Amino acid sequence: MAGEPGRRDGLLVDFGGVLTTSVFASFAAFCRAEGLDAGALRDAFRADPRARRLLEDLETGRLDPAAFSAALGERLGLADATDLPRRLFAELRPDPAMIAAVRRVRAAGVRTGLVSNSWGDATAYDVLPDGLFDATVISSEVGLRKPDPAIYALGAQRIGVPPERCVFVDDLGGNLKPAAALGMATVRHVRADETIAALEALLGPAVRSSAAAPPSGSARGGS
């Protein structure tokens, strides 16, 4: 596959909400447990400039998790603001169908990479099997976060494939636009079966096993 004219031979994927269940569902579960509206955290990150800045600083490594927890807890009025990143991600579970698909892609000769906005130790990359990726780009380690175009370019560089030959998968539309502007084919992830079908069209039939996994649940949130 690699090197064929017109063929995409690099795959970059998001972590939370693509290789796992929904980040926003985990957020909602936390909010309900704390007596908040289920959408309180999602809405804070979208509409509250201070909460948004806290998120950006955490994901780029400019703010440590303890300081993030204290400041966000104050914004949300939480009685207990300890260890918020871990608690907010507590309901995330790996998506076996998507993980298997990435494994098949790499076995078929496509270079694979993870491009993730990290929440430090709360972003449990250890749920992923060894050998899934040729390279990783973790926001807090490189000081860049999606949707900064530089993080996508770095992902392509690290897997050794030009951006125009890469496919990028994320569950958030706003994270796809900069990748597309660099020439990447983009796939918005909602369900594993739909994403696998899209990757099959872009990368070849090796993406789908002979006995494809059943559709997984919706995974709309992301990191």
What pLDDT digit, counting tens, does each position of 194-210 carry?
A: 999 999 999 987 777 63
As given in the structure block, the two tokens for residue 5 are 């004219």
Give me the residue label for tokens 């951006």.
163
What distances in angstroms separate CA 22 from CA 44, 52, 54, 217, 220, one per listed residue? 17, 19, 21, 9, 5
Per CATH, which fold does 10-21+93-207 belong to?
A: Rossmann fold (3.40.50)
Spatial distance between the Cα atoms of 115 and 112, rounded to a whole number of angstroms: 10
Residue 179 has pLDDT above 80, yes or no: yes
The string of pLDDT tens digits covering residues 108-154 is 999 999 999 999 887 889 899 999 999 999 999 999 999 999 999 99
- CATH 3.40.50.1000 domain range(s) in the chain: 10-21+93-207
Residue 6 has pLDDT above 70, yes or no: no
What distances in angstroms separate CA 215 from CA 192, 197, 212, one per listed residue? 6, 11, 9
Crossing angle for the helix pair 96-107 and 192-203, to the nearest 10 degrees: 10
